[in-house]
Amino acid sequence: METALDIIEQPVKETVQITGSHALLEALIAERVDTIFGYPGGAIMPIYDALYDYHEQLKHILVRHEQGGIHAAQGFARASGKVGVVFATSGPGATNLVTGLADAQIDSTPLVCITGQVFAHLLGTDAFQETDVINITTPVTKWNYQITDACEIPEVLAKAFYIARSGRPGPVLIDITKNAQLQLFEYAGYQTCDHIRSYRPKPYIRKEFIEAAAALINAAEKPFVIFGQGVILGNAEQEFKAFLEKSGIPAAWTILGLSALATDHPLNMGMLGMHGNYGPNVMTNEGDVLIAIGMRFDDRVTGRLDKYAKQAKVIHLDIDPSEIDKNVKAAVGVWGDCKETLPMLTRLIQTKVYPQWIEKFRVYQKEEEKEVISNELYPAEGQISMGEVLRVLNELTEGEAIIVSDVGQHQMVACRYAKFNQTRSNITSGGLGTMGFALPAAIGAKFGTPERTVVAVIGDGGIQMTIQELGTIMQTGIDIKILILNNQFLGMVRQWQQLFHDKRYSFVDIASPDYVMVAKGYGINGETVKERNHLKGALQRMLSHQGSYLLEVMVGKENNVFPMVPQGCSVSEIRLK
């Protein structure tokens, strides 16, 4: 039993007086942060003043817009597996983060966002550049918190990083009033967080559910695996591969699951969803056991839910229990981190092969190659197609590059045709579908993985939404390859207007600046390609150039992306043309 004398004789923890701003930066260093994306302003100025003293320990990237900052932090996190960090000031600075927060929330990207706020005594007075950022961002963050007293900073930041990276990752926003940034307090050091009462990032694994899942798999005659980003977020690529190779089950991916398994793996059947491959979509409604791993049955994957895999017994592995039975009823729900649950399942399943079942996928694949893929990758005439640009890019990168795609037709083409040998190589905006994502996300991806080639594949619509981030490239000297596929349309909207709105092309004809001249203004070399016989040489020049390079490729104006599952249809009603 501890006595009063014992308490008196315990060493007193030494403290030093520092400001809240310095405590924040000490927290970042303790959390092994080395890169911050941000934009200064009045309400966060004390933090930037303190940052002046930490420039050798913390690299700050000055972006050109707060939305660019948070997308860069997303790209950094997705490529590196670390937590992305972004700074913004109050008012418009904070509200400019909202799109990125929503994007990170739905795509499970770990971020810690620090926003400055007006002095605490001014809260609620409509002071200059005051917004209620906590209530604005509550629906699009995993957790948010407002600090009005510097003493809270160490503990709150420790919680922020723990919550952002643990369990199903997500964005956290910490709003710090200016007085708390300036306030001196007794600082006793920083302790990382590994537990919060009432927060359980990983659910308990139920052995009986693992056993039930294994029994279904062992009895299956036509099993099919569909996998998503949960495999990547759980760092479970090797465990997943071991499960597939023992089970012999064919597998297909969501767009965020792409690169978790090498694209040329013999059990990789391709992409699911609205513009996915023919076989995986049709066969979803033919298998007897459907094993979903780290994916959330998004509507772009399932099509009509009342016609989705009704013949199959569904096994759903996910770290987030709320995803199980949310959209598709599971016969067996396996809660837990797939890095832990997959080895348990692999031990219990039988070693099998399914040659006849896999051959059915191959039959659909050959039909798709004949009707769609060969024409897209090897067009005999006409304008350059997006698919052939990706084909040539694959030949030159040999599947080793990180491809960061924006949103639109080019995104679907990039996801369909890009080849990947490594995980964390496909970075795109999945659930939110944010145009303007790719250019800043590519900047972040390059800072997160400086040793890798990063290619941003962007449409002529998306590039104009965040084109100012060319200034970030100019100032940092970072090496990004920018590939603009210009069809002179907002292509995906135009495709829908063509197919479902009688070609009533309402405000989708978008004009572009001279991108090469714009890039030149930022000190970035570039060129435009219009002829097929110039394409490979231009791509080679882009990839071999020392430093950033912008390549604009003029592609077919009214080319469509197929296959396609029309909205309101079943996945088995996928169209090849």
What one-character-per-residue DSSP string does 387-443 give? HHHHHHHHHHHTT-SEEEE-SSHHHHHHHHH---SSSS-EEE--SS--TT-HHHHHH
User: Could you tell me if 408 and 491 are in contact, meaning their C-beta atoms sit under 8 angstroms apart?
Assistant: yes
Exactly one of 26, 142, 161, 178 is catalytic; name it.
Answer: 178
Using DSSP's 3-state secondary structure scheme, residue 285 falls into: coil
- Our answer to whether residue 271 is catalytic in this structure is no
Exactly one of 45, 119, 129, 286 is catalytic; name it.
Answer: 129
Provide CB contacts within 8 A for 512, sequence distance 6+: 460, 464, 486, 488
Exactly one of 274, 295, 492, 542 is catalytic; name it.
Answer: 492
User: Could you tell me if 415 and 258 are in contact, meaning their C-beta atoms sit under 8 angstroms apart?
Assistant: yes
pLDDT at 380: 84
pLDDT at 10: 54
- Our answer to whether residue 128 is catalytic in this structure is yes
pLDDT at 3: 52
CB neighbours of residue 13 within 10 Å: 8
Q: Is the pTM of this model over 0.85?
A: yes
Which domains are seen in the chain, by residue range? Answer: 14-187 (3.40.50.970), 207-360 (3.40.50.1220), 384-558 (3.40.50.970)
pLDDT at 307: 94
Residue type, 529: V
Q: In terms of Cα–Cα distance, which of 352, 338, 361 is closest to 272?
A: 361
Give the C-alpha separation, 383 to 312, whole Å: 43
- Our answer to whether residue 492 is catalytic in this structure is yes
Backbone φ, ψ for residue 335 (5° rounding): -80, 145
pLDDT at 6: 53
pLDDT at 9: 54
Exactly one of 66, 239, 388, 469 is catalytic; name it.
Answer: 66
Q: In terms of Cα–Cα distance, which of 303, 256, 232 is closest to 103?
A: 256
Provide CB contacts within 8 A for 300, sequence distance 6+: 273, 274
Give the C-alpha separation, 262 to 247, whole Å: 17
Give the C-alpha separation, 347 to 211, whole Å: 10
pLDDT at 528: 98
Question: Mean pLDDT in runs of 10 for the chain (577 residues)?
Answer: 51 84 98 98 98 95 98 98 98 98 98 98 96 98 98 98 98 98 97 95 95 98 98 98 98 97 97 96 96 96 95 97 96 97 98 97 96 94 96 97 97 97 97 98 98 98 98 98 97 94 95 98 98 97 98 96 92 92
- Our answer to whether residue 178 is catalytic in this structure is yes
- Strand-pairing partners, residue 113, are 86, 173
Q: Are strands 184-187 and 16-19 parallel, antiparallel or unpaired?
A: antiparallel
- Chain-centroid distance of CA 463 in Å reads 18
Give the C-alpha separation, 482 to 486, whole Å: 12
Residue type, 486: N
Residue 272, CA distances (Å) to 6, 278, 283, 300, 358 in order? 64, 8, 10, 9, 16
Exactly one of 128, 191, 310, 530 is catalytic; name it.
Answer: 128
- Our answer to whether residue 66 is catalytic in this structure is yes
